[in-house]
Amino acid sequence: MRNESLKDIAIKELLLQLADDDFIHSYRGAEWLGLAPHIEEDVASASISQDTMGHAAIYYKLLDELGEGDADKLAHDRPAKERRNAIILELVNGPGHYMKDPDYDWAFAVVRNYFYTQAKAIKVQSLHSCSYEPLAEVAQKVQMELYYHLMHWKTWFVQLLGSGHLEAVSRMKAAIGKTMPDFAGVFSLGQYGEEMVELGLIEGEAVLQKKWIEAITPIFESVGLAATIQIGMARGDGRNGQHTEDLEKALKTLSEVYASDKAASW
Amino acid sequence: MATVQLNTEEIYRLLEDVKDPEIDTVSILDLGMVQDVTVSGQDVSVKMLPTFLGCPALSIIQKNVETALKQLPAVKNVCVEFLRSPSWTSDRITEKGKAGLKVFGISPPPRQMKSDGSWHVDCPYCESTYVTMENIFGPTACRSILYCKACKNPFEAMKPMIKII
């Protein structure tokens, strides 16, 4: 009996991590709408963000089926301290606001998007053999769609770093330097991580991280970057509810309409 | 009270009229979105597969299926459910569906990809093979934008969704 409830907790925790990661990642992507470097990119990154929101929604739906409340409520009506997303995903795109004087950094967007999409691909691959069958099924579908997301961000990453253009290369390097110190948060499985692994829900943090490094190393080398990849959780572990002011502000903005009438039917 | 016996063929006939809200020349049946139809008394259950999880048209399609089937006086309840498994793949699109896509100016998805993940389709208007990929991402998650250098028309293609990728 006790084991069973621990299993339920671990499944819900994992689903919240997956859902909250995709949710805030999609939100930050959506803030680029109309601001991407060119119109084709605007179409592409908006399409990816929309699809990613679909992934968040399906994870929230699985939580709904486990009695955690409906997807809209889970997405809009939880304070920052209850969110499980990795801190690196919540950080703002840059100074300013998408409505006024946005000074967003495309290099940071490319690096964060490529790193995250590659990490997500590895997690989703691991979830194929998840002992919780509904999640294993969803993972199959997500992986097929993710193929296109990953190809897109990998292309940007390689093209900007391989461009030989001084500004592009130096800004990309700065963005890598900004992303690495917090990127381990994406692999954190939080306080129930050991149970998740024991229960066969997903592979452990170290395994996932190793696979990620193996995946990005040849890409780093192809653009002449030294593949000394060191990641950490400088600002804390989002899985345990540690977050920055950036998340607080984002939640306030994205839930503004929902909060205006929580009973309304959309 | 006499009830008219419903049969699944009748339901499938009605589903022929439910089109993709964004491509009105192709039915949801020809897109391969309908996995199963069962009839029990006056209740109809339709099990469907989402093309893309992020597709905002899913709830519209669901509503359109309900509306279409409720035209039959013998139908009392319609339950439309999107399944998690199996995953929709682009090879589920029927020959009729592919023809319908071309009428709309969309090339049907290619059957396979090259080893590097690239793929090729011909122009849906002039059949020329002399085309370029402008954007893998298009106006909807399932479509890409291409350009035909022969007839100088922009056109779209359905992205291939294949299990092995």
Q: What CATH number belongs to B8-82?
A: 3.30.300.130
Q: What percentage of chain B exceeds 70 in pLDDT?
A: 96
Is the Cβ pair B53, A51 closer than 8 Å? Answer: yes
Q: Give the helix ranges, DSSP H, for chain A.
A: 2-30, 39-65, 71-76, 87-90, 106-127, 133-161, 166-183, 193-198, 205-222, 245-254, 256-260
Residue A1: is its pLDDT beyond 90?
Answer: no
Is the Cβ pair B55, A54 closer than 8 Å? Answer: yes
- List, for residues B104-140, the tens digit of each pLDDT value: 999 999 988 887 778 999 999 999 999 999 999 998 8
What is the model's pLDDT at position A3?
A: 52
B41 close to A (CB below 8 A): no
The ranges assigned to domains in chain B are 8-82, 98-158
Considering only the beta carbons, identify the residue of A55, A140, A151 that sits closest to B54: A55
* Count of residues making up chain B: 165
- List, for residues B70-84, the tens digit of each pLDDT value: 999 999 999 999 999
- List, for residues B28-47, the tens digit of each pLDDT value: 999 999 999 999 999 999 99
Averaged pLDDT for residues A139-151 = 95
- Using pLDDT thresholds of 50, 70 and 90, give the confidence band for residue B17: very high
Q: Which residues of B115-154 are buried (b: 16+ CB within 10 A; e: fewer)?
A: eeeebebbbbeeeeeebeebbbbbebbbbbbbbbeeeebe
Nearest-Cα distance to chain B for A53, in Å, is: 6
- The model's pTM is 0.93
Could you tell me the two tokens for A251?
């939640």
- CATH architecture entry for A2-260: Up-down Bundle (1.20)
| Interface predicted TM-score of the whole assembly (ipTM), two decimals | 0.86
For strand B43-48 and strand B34-40, is the pairing parallel, antiparallel, or unpaired? antiparallel
